[in-house]
A and B are shown apart, each in its own frame.
Chain A
């Protein structure tokens, strides 16, 4: 069935370090892929999305490329800030408008 596997956390980085959070998926058809972020005490916010193979989503310095050949949608940022500390969720969007969620990866960025 459809599923999302996300890199386990927690991830701890120093400010200005490079970030990668891995996400791979299993799906039939032509899903969309999403990254959501949840800051402490807040609801989920869409960070970026990609709707077809080779699309690159980007926002706030974060990027992810929809790779059909490797069934991946890894999240990257070149230089993280303390304010990026949050939980990041990878999600698969299906034709029935449902999202299949990864378990989330907690990121802590130290000054």
Chain B
């Protein structure tokens, strides 16, 4: 079974530029998550999708971050414009959505963003 795919793996941009990340979840997984992980910290949930609807985006900085999940499969996360403090690893995860608390999240390799 293929895992969660993410691209690009690395991205370097200058502040005020735009950037987009792509995620392809495990086939059939209904729930998709985007996390931000700053070096030395645990993951911080940015947005959670159930199929193509948003379940939780309370920690997404909506003035600069946006995310969509068209057709309930692939997802993109965009930052526009980027700030220095956005330098982090952006992780995508998916889960089957079949059970609630026991639902296991499977993570992609992440995209390491550096904002100069």
Contact = CB atoms under 8 A, between A and B. Distances in A.
Contacts of B101: 29-32, 51, 93-95, 97
Contacts, number: 60
Interface residues of A, number: 25
A45 interface: yes
Nearest to A49: B104
A40 to B, nearest CB: 12
B107 interface: yes
Chain B interface category by residue count = 20 to 34
Contacts of A101: 42-43
Contact of B100 (A44, A89, A96, A103): A96
Interface string B40-56: 11110100101000011
A42 interface: yes
Interface string B91-109: 1010101001111111111
A111 interface: no
A95 B100 CA distance: 5
B111 to A, nearest CB: 10
B103 A93 contact: yes
Interface string A97-111: 111011110000000
Contacts of B48: 97-98
B110 interface: yes
Contact of B42 (A34, A45, A104): A104
Contact of A44 (B91, B95, B97): B91
B75 interface: no
A95 B97 CA distance: 11
6 contacts: A42-B110, A44-B107, A97-B31, A99-B45, A99-B105, A101-B42
